[in-house]
Chain A
Amino acid sequence: MHVHGSFQHRGPALGACSISRRDFMRGSLAVGAGVAVSRLALDTWAPVLAQAAQAELPPVTRFLTPDQVAELLKLAQSKGAPFAEIYGEYTINTNFVLDENELRQAQYGVLSGVGVRVIDGDAVGYAYADEFGMDGLREAARVAAAIARGKPGGTPRAFAATKAKAPFVLVRPAPLTASEGEKIDLCRRGNEAARTRDPRIKQVQVIMADTSKAILVANSDGVWAEDRQFISRLAVVPTAIDGSNRQGGMAMAGGAVEADYFDKVRTPEQTAHEASDTAIALLTAVDAKAGSYPVIINHGWGGVLVHECFGHSLEGDGIRKKTSIREKQLNQKVCSDIVDIYDDSTVPNARGSFKVDDEGTPSQKSHVVEKGVLKGYLWDRLNADLTGNTSTANGRRNSYRDFPIPRMTNTYIAGGTSKPAEMIASIKNGLFCKNLGGGSVNPADGMFSFVVSEAYLIEDGKITSAVKGATLTGNAADAMLRIEGLGDDLAIDTKTGTCGKDGQWKPVGVGQPTVMFSEMTVGGTRA
Chain B
Amino acid sequence: MVQKEMNLVRTLGAAAVRIILRMGRMGIFLIKAICCALTPPIKFSLVLKKIQFIGFQSISVIFLTGGFTGMVLGYQGYNTLSRFGSDAFLGPMVGLALIKEMGPVISALMVTGRAGSSVTAEIGIMRISEQIDALELMGLNPYRYLVVPNFWAAVISVPLLTAIFDVVGIFGGYLIGVKLLGVSSGIYFGEMISYVEMQDVFEGIFKSLNFGLLIAWVCCFKGYYTGYYTGFGAEGVSKATTQAVVLSSVLILVWDYFLTSTHFFF
* A and B: bona fide binding partners: no
Chain A interface residues (CB < 8 Å from chain B): none
